[in-house]
Amino acid sequence: MDDPRVEKIAISGPTLASMIQRFSTASGAVDGLLFGHVTQVTSSNLSDDSDSPADSNSPTFVATITGFFCSGTINSFYDSTGTVESGFIGRFLDDSLRTHQSSFIGWFSGRRRTQLRPSMREWLVTASLLTETKYSFPVKNAPEPTDFKPCLFLLLTSPLSDQIIHTHEYRAYQFHSSTESFESKSISIVNIGPAFRGHYGSFSPNTPFPSLSCELRGSPIRDKGHDKKQGLKDQRELDMCAEGFEIGRLRGLVGSEATNYTENLEDLYEKMLVKMENLARMVEDSSAKLYEQEKHNRELRYKISKSAVSE
């Protein structure tokens, strides 16, 4: 029986960047193992057309790469004929699985200045991995027990010719034992943001947002007399600079009152634009005065030099 067909492969941006960095800094070609998990996602085919068939749910399998192990060289866990050495994998696979808290889902290869397609040796290595049934692992969220073998393969290559901008190419494959062939798969780069919220699920923050104090802090200067007056003067100047942006007003933007913060933000933004406009006018006026002063100085120097020549 063939392995479940993976719809797409997901990998986080930092994980992919780290893998490319290990490949680009190596002295030559590299290979390694991929860790992650496979999840079954049930997608609904909904339609408002009465002539369409009834709603049906189709299971979709998504493989997520969460970590990797890079050997720094080639032929790290297989020989020249592409036969996997189970003893070598067993020596470090258990530690790696405990570190990544995930399953062994496949392997990757990084080659320099080659075509972006699997070689015969990579075909043999992947086919040899599928014969090792002890590396199979269950699919998450599957209604029935479903095992998945480490049949994924990620290929990294560098451009065939020298380029000004250093770039790398990558492509993911799934090896099917029934047809003994690779099938190219799309790669989804998972980053943080609303578009990728489905990859993380719902969560609650463990650390609450720190409360902001509304009290007006006194001057840190404890000296009496002139130092105390100077501290109060400095505090007043700071208050003038922060007019409209007091800490008490900003606190309402992060607490329970944040639901109606649009008007406050627009007001603060408008005041900020006014301050920037006033500052720009001050800079413009000072630049004009500076230009007039330089012009006046040049005229004076010209008169002095002319009078010196006439004498």
Q: Encoding tokens for residue 75?
A: 């032929």
Read off the pLDDT of residues 42-90 as tens digits, 9 standing for 90 and up: 765 555 555 555 445 567 899 999 888 888 888 888 888 888 877 666 6
Beta pairing partners, 190: 12
Cα 155 to Cα 170: distance, rounded to the nearest angstrom: 5
Cα 7 to Cα 187: distance, rounded to the nearest angstrom: 10
**Residue of 112, 113, 135 whose CA lies nearest to 35:** 135
Read off the pLDDT of residues 217-263 as tens digits, 9 standing for 90 and up: 554 444 556 666 777 777 777 666 666 656 666 666 665 665 566 66
The predicted model scores a pTM of 0.57
Mean pLDDT value of segment 13-28? 88
- Burial bucket for residue 252 (CB in 10 Å: 0-12, 13-18, 19+): middle
Reported confidence tier of residue 118, pLDDT bands at 50, 70, 90: very high
Cα 125 to Cα 143: distance, rounded to the nearest angstrom: 31
pLDDT at 221: 46
C-alpha neighbours within 13 Å on the C-beta side of residue 208: 6
Q: What are phi and psi of 133, to 5 degrees?
A: -70, -20
pLDDT at 210: 53
- Per-domain residue ranges for the chain? 6-44+56-199, 244-310
Of residues 216 and 185, more confidence is placed in: 185
Residue type, 138: P
List the end-to-end C-alpha distance of the chain, in Å, as a whole number.
110
pLDDT at 202: 45
Q: CA-based diameter of the chain, in Å? A: 110
Q: Encoding tokens for residue 230?
A: 């100077």
pLDDT at 194: 52
Structural class in CATH, domain 6-44+56-199: alpha beta
Decide: 156 and 118 in contact? Cβ < 8 Å: no
DSSP H helices in 56-119: 86-100
